[in-house]
Amino acid sequence: MKINSKQYRTVWLEGSDVKLINQILLPHKFEIFTCKNHKETADAIKTMIVRGAGAIGATAAYGVAQAVLEANNKDFLEYIKNAIITLKNTRPTAQNLFTGIDFVFNSIKNIKNIEEAKKIAVEKANEFADYDAESCRKIGEFGNNLIKNNFNVLTHCNAGWLAFVDWGSATSPLFLANRNGKKIFVYVDETRPRNQGSKLTAWELVNENVPHAIIADNAAGFYMKQGKIDLLITGADRIAANGDVANKIGTYEKAVLAKENNIPFYVAAPTTTFDLNCESGDKIPIEERNAEEVSHMFGVDEKGNFAKIRIAPKESQVKNPAFDVTSAKYVTGIITEKGVIKPTRGDIGRFVRDKRLNKQ
């Protein structure tokens, strides 16, 4: 993605520093955030300076590499294992985080020479990030085939390049269709409570010159019923072995509405998002986030100052599940770097098992 004529990734490693685009400040301010050690990297994931399945997966992989670089000969492996616990405890739902951590750790856990381990850890973290970016590019190619000229597409949350290392999953087909000259229009769900649709996806579409409009979350059904939505594409934070999909809260209701209105509902995700050890969606842990995300709003005031304001009564109880699960029966297909696959145990087993980055 180009910002001000310069090419960026969402996350990268410079020396032993993890560099991140600070997503909390977007779209009002573009700033690079630096994590000096694995604890700062873990905190950046937890506080959502970086967010999105692929992005936190790559960031966590770099966090493991940082831990290896920090470690000394004494209790080398123990130090790394403790760092991994810290990184894994940041966010529970997105599978890519665990895939990235395990990919780097499994590459160095049996190496006795600490200098060799440091070299390999950095190489493997970069390999994992590169795989994420390339997977999303391929998702764009497969997904582009589903988008016809003059299509209106609905998105939910942000599964764009900010949510991955580059390209994104759900937005990658949109970017490619637009670059190939197809006339498309994107309806962007605002995606309360953190508004990743209106803040992040819309910002990406502005940078890519893709025609779009931000809509309130509960307006999607209105446009579906009017026949103004031809296709719905979302990302995923974890996909179970049976094809059930965990994604940003509100995805389930969009999928049900899509089925009711005979609109194809596709999920776009690299195979690193699949959890073959998770039998079904009801086994996926769902993160409950801070109440202030619902009771308050964060933005820029008329003077250009960042501000947080309360919009709910102080006395009101708040519940804030960050994700929901969409049953496989509502999913038309899953767009992966291997192709578009059916949300069935058989298809997932054939395409994902033994074909992932970290062979199993």
Catalytic positions, written as ranges: 237
Residue 97, CB-side half-sphere exposure with 13 Å CA sphere = 24
Distance in angstroms (rounded) separating the CA atoms of residues 34 and 223: 41
Closest CA to 170 of 198, 136, 213, 205: 136
Give the residue ranges of DSSP H helices in 47-113.
53-70, 76-88, 95-108
Q: 241, 275 in Cβ contact below 8 A?
A: yes
5 backbone φψ class: left, alpha, beta (φ>0; ψ -120 to 50): left
Which amino acid is it at 352?
V
Closest CA to 198 of 208, 213, 176: 213
Q: Residue with structure tokens 């630096």?
A: 34
